[in-house]
Amino acid sequence: MSNEVSYNNVVEATVSILRKAETTLSEDVIETIQKAKDGESSTVAREQLNAILKNIDIASRNKVPICQDTGILIFFVEIGRDLAIDFNLDAAIEEGVRKATISIPLRPNSVDPLTRNNSKDNTGDGIPDIKYNFCDGNKLKITVAPKGAGSENMSAVKMLNPTETDQIRNFVLETVLNAGGKPCPPIVIGIGIGGSFDKAARLAKASLLENMTDMNELELSILKDVNSLGIGPMGLGGDTTALAVHMKKAHCHTASLPVAVNIQCWANRHASIILGGEE
Amino acid sequence: MEYNLTMPLKKEDITKLSAGDIVHLNGTILTARDEAHAHILEKTENGKEIPFGLDESVIYHCGPLMRKIEDKWEIVAAGPTTSARMSKMTPELLDKYNVFALIGKGGMTNVTEAMQDKCVYLAFTGGCAALASENIINVKEVHWLELGMPEAVWVLEVENFGPLVVGIDAKGNDLFSKIDEKARKIYSGL
C-alpha cells in the first residue's frame, strides 16, 4: 500500500492545474486552431482566428486567464486501487479552488441557482463538480476542465427512440444551428450516446478531454457536415464552425437511446497532474 | 471599410457604419450584462437615479475579471459575454436611452428595429479576454458592485479597442441572421 499523497499535495496540485488550464491551452488545441486559420477562405473568419491565436499567446505570456469566464470547475479524479487516502479529498480540492480563485485570480462564478447569491470563491453546493473513478495502480490523477457558460448553455440532451440511430447526426447539427455564434465558435463537440439521461451527458463532457487531432471516421464525417453549415468563427461566417468532434458511448436500456451534445468553445481548457505512484 | 472612432461618438459616426465594417474604439465605455440591464430598467421605471450616463454611451456586454491592488481596481481579463441574453431587454433600453453602440459576441435577436438610425452592434472575438485587456487602459469607476463582480457596471477607458466587426448596423442589416438563414438552408439540403 502506498500512502504518500497528502492533503496539502492535493491542495497545491489543484492550484497548479487550475493555473495551467486557465492560462494555457494544450498543443493539440493550438495546432488545430492554427490549421483552421491556414485553411480558412473567409477574410473575416481568418481575422477572428488570428485574434484567438494572439489572445492565446498574450494569456500564456502574461500568465493571465485566456477568457474572463474562468468557468464553473469540473474535476475528473482517478484513484489507483492500491492508493490509501486518509483525508477528505473533496475538501482538499475545494481548498485548492478557493486558493486559486485569489492567486490566479479566477472570476467568482458560482451562485445559488435561485437567489443568484454569489459564493465569491467558486465553491458552493455540489460545486466544484468532482467525478471520481477507480483505476489500476497506486497513483492519483486529477484533471480539471473549467467550463464557460456561453458554450455550456448551448448544450442539449435528447431521448431518442431506439430505432432512431439515424437521427443522432441531425440532433447534433440542429444543436449547432441553434447555438449559432453564441458558444464562441469554432467549437469542439462532445457527443455522448447511450447510458442513461445523465450518463449520456457525462460521456459527452468526458469526450471533450480527448486529443483534438485524433478523430475516427464517424467523428470526421460529422465534423465535415457541421463545417458545411458555414456558421464560422463567432457566427460571422466561414469554413470553421467546429474544430473537432468526439464521441463516447455506453450500453443503454433496450427501449432507450439517450444522446447528449456538449458544446465547448475554442478554448478547450483542461489540465492534469499525477500524484503518488512511487514504488 | 475600417474606422477608428473616438468617444464621445456622434450620430454620424454610427449611421455611416455598415454590417461587415471593422471598427476600433477610443475613450470611455461601460460594462452591463443581465443584472445591470434589469437594474437599469427597473430604476428607470421607478423614476430612480442611475449613477452613470447612458445617453451617447457605448455599452460593453462583459463581466470582467478584476483584481483590487490596494484600493485601485485593475483589469485581469475582460472579453465579451453572450449578447443574446440581453436581446429581450435591449429594445426598452434603447427606447429610454440614446445608446450609440453595443459591444458583445454572438449577435442578438429582434433588435434591428430598435437599433434603426440610432445604434450599432459591434462584435468582439469571443473568449479573447487577454487581448481585450491589453486595450483597456484604465478602470474609471465601478457601480452596483453588490450585484457581484461580473454583473456590476464597470466604467472603462479603452484605446484602439478592437478589431470590432459591425454585426448589426443602424440600417437594418444583421450579419448574424444572414449567416443563420444560410446555414439553415444548407442544413435542410443535407
Tens digits of per-residue pLDDT, A92-142? Answer: 999 999 999 999 999 999 999 999 999 999 999 999 999 999 999 999 999
Residue A213's domain spans which residues? 149-264
The pLDDT assigned to A209 comes to: 98
Q: What is the mean pLDDT of chain B?
A: 96
B77–A107 CB contact, under 8 Å: yes
Is residue A195, in this structure, part of any structural domain at all? Answer: yes
Q: Are B83 and B120 in contact (CB under 8 A)?
A: no
How many angstroms from the chain centroid is the CA of residue A176? 17
The pLDDT assigned to A128 comes to: 98
Chain B partners within 8 Å of A116 (Cβ): 35
The three-point CA angle A257-A126-B146 to 5° equals: 120
A184–B190 CB contact, under 8 Å: no
Q: Taking 80 as the threshold, does the pLDDT of residue B79 lie above it?
A: yes
Q: Which residues of B are catalytic?
A: 37
B98 phi and psi angles, rounded to 5 deg = -90, 65
Specify the residue for cell string 478592437: B162
Closest by CA to B128, choosing from B90, B159, B169, B161, is B161
Specify the residue for cell string 483505476: A135
Which three three-digit cell numbers place residue A49? 482566428
Residue ranges covered by each domain of chain B: 2-189
Distance, in Å, from the CA atom of B2 to the CA atom of B160, rounded to the nearest integer, reads: 12
Q: Taking 80 as the threshold, does the pLDDT of residue A3 lie above it?
A: no
Q: Taking 70 as the threshold, does the pLDDT of residue B59 lie above it?
A: yes
How many angstroms from the chain centroid is the CA of residue A205? 6
ipTM for the whole complex: 0.92
Closest by CA to A38, choosing from A189, A239, A268, A246, is A239
The pLDDT assigned to A279 comes to: 56
The pLDDT assigned to A277 comes to: 80
Q: Which of B144, B145, B165, B179 best tests the A interface by mutation, with the highest count of A CBs <10 A? A: B179
- Whether the ω angle into residue A185 lies within 30 degrees of 0, i.e. cis, is no
Is residue A171, in this structure, part of any structural domain at all? Answer: yes
Is residue A225, in this structure, part of any structural domain at all? Answer: yes
| pTM for this prediction | 0.94
Which three three-digit cell numbers place residue A35? 490549421
Question: By the CB < 8 Å criterion, does A168 face chain B?
Answer: no
Closest by CA to A51, choosing from A214, A186, A147, is A186
Q: Taking 90 as the threshold, does the pLDDT of residue B73 lie above it?
A: yes
The pLDDT assigned to B108 comes to: 97
Is residue A247, in this structure, part of any structural domain at all? Answer: yes
Query: Per mean pLDDT, which range of A3-12, A135-144, B42-51, B88-97 is the poorest?
Result: A3-12
Strand partners of residue A244: A188
Mean pLDDT, range B140-162, rounded to an integer: 96
The pLDDT assigned to A15 comes to: 98
Provide the domain count of chain A: 1
Query: How far from A20 is each of A173, A264, B75, CA to CA, in Å?
Result: 32, 18, 20
Tens digits of per-residue pLDDT, A223-279? Answer: 999 999 999 999 999 999 999 999 999 999 999 999 999 999 999 999 999 999 865
Distance, in Å, from the CA atom of A117 to the CA atom of A108, rounded to the nearest integer, reads: 11
Distance, in Å, from the CA atom of B182 to the CA atom of A182, rounded to the nearest integer, reads: 17
Of A54, A111, A184, the CB nearest to B131: A54
Closest by CA to A135, choosing from A206, A80, A75, is A80
Q: Is B21 exposed, middle or buried (0-12, 13-18, 19+ CB in 10 A)?
A: middle
Tens digits of per-residue pLDDT, A36-68? Answer: 999 999 999 999 999 999 999 999 999 999 999
The pLDDT assigned to B18 comes to: 97
Please give the CATH topology (third level) of the domain spanning B2-189.
fumarase (3.20.130)
The pLDDT assigned to A275 comes to: 97
Residue type present at position A29 = V
Residues 33-92 of A with CB under 8 A from B: 44, 47-48, 51-52, 54-55, 58-59, 62, 64-70
Is residue A257, in this structure, part of any structural domain at all? Answer: yes
| B176 Cβ contact list (under 8 Å, min separation 6) | A180, A181, A235, A236, B106, B107, B108, B167, B168
Question: By the CB < 8 Å criterion, does A221 face chain B?
Answer: no
How many angstroms from the chain centroid is the CA of residue A125? 21
